[in-house]
Amino acid sequence: MNGDMAHIDVPRSEKFDDVYFSVVDGLSETRHVFLNGNGLPEAWQGRGGVTICETGFGTGLNFLATLKLWLDSPVAERPKKLHFISFEKYPLTREYIAKHLAVWNDLSDILGVFLSKYPIDLNVSKVDLDICDGVVLTLCFGDVNVLMPTIHESVDFWFLDGFKPSSNPDMWSDNVFQNMARLSQIDARIATFTAAGFVRRGLVAAGFEIQKVRGFGRKREMVIGRYVGGDDAR
Ligand SMILES: C[S@@+](CC[C@H](N)C(=O)[O-])C[C@H]1O[C@@H](n2cnc3c(N)ncnc32)[C@H](O)[C@@H]1O
């Protein structure tokens, strides 16, 4: 079975009354929303190194899809260095992740490598994992509102992936948007599955130019955009 989601138990959070990824096909959703939404892989061509920052790590599906894209890209057409930073307040166990991502044969090799490095002690607040030559995954375990202000990186691409804004508003706070602006270079790109009004307004207020585009599957709309800066930067 490869990507056939009909037979798997899609991970779900009772606390937030939402799924971690699409029940239709999580991997296709990731590729549509976060990779294509950020213009990848074309947008990382010709760069020496890129930093991607994600707001909710969950199962790591978005990270693995990004890693797969990087590994499958010709060396001349991908950045030498890929740094992927992600936040997670409620880390999942290795066993839980293994069980829920096993459906994608495409990812099985890199899933094994990732799981062999995934920390057993989920109480650490920040860990840098050397996934392979050229790729570092930084996991920040805790509240994104507390930990994003401690980051000092220049971010090129944002994957905004909390649970739905109505049940998980902390992931979509003005504090998060202001910190995204602080860490973004002009033209840093963003993509998210939601087109909720308060998310769009918060992003615009923080200096992002956004547009609504077709969402994945039955979702009519999602949002992509780029950082254009505040009044001072224009
Ligand atoms: C939709 S899921 C992310 C799915 C994930 N990107 C994947 O590939 O599986 C949202 C994630 O945000 C996490 N989360 C919720 N509130 C948070 C907060 N305040 N700070 C950090 N992480 C949070 C949840 O535990 C969950 O793992």
Phi-psi region of 216 (alpha: psi -120 to 50; beta: other; left: phi over 0): beta
* C-alpha 13 to ligand 1 mean position (Å): 10
Residue with CA closest to ligand 1 atom 6: 57
Q: How many other CB atoms sit within 10 Å of the CB of residue 101?
A: 23
Residue 89 beta carbon below 6 angstroms from any ligand 1 atom: yes
Residue with CA closest to ligand 1 atom 11: 56
Quick one: 5-227 is in which CATH superfamily? Vaccinia Virus protein VP39 (3.40.50.150)
Q: What is the pLDDT of residues 162-212, one digit of tens each?
A: 999 999 999 999 999 999 999 999 999 999 999 999 999 999 999 999 999
* Confidence bin at 59 (pLDDT 50/70/90): very high
Considering the chain, what percentage of its residues have pLDDT values greater than 70?
95
What does pTM read for this prediction? 0.95
Give the per-residue pLDDT at 120: 78
* C-alpha 56 to ligand 1 mean position (Å): 3
Token digits of residue 109: 């090799």
Token digits of residue 41: 């892989």
Domain boundaries, the chain: 5-227
Q: What is the pLDDT of residues 108-147, one digit of tens each?
A: 999 999 999 998 787 888 999 999 999 999 999 999 999 9
Residue 168 beta carbon below 6 angstroms from any ligand 1 atom: yes
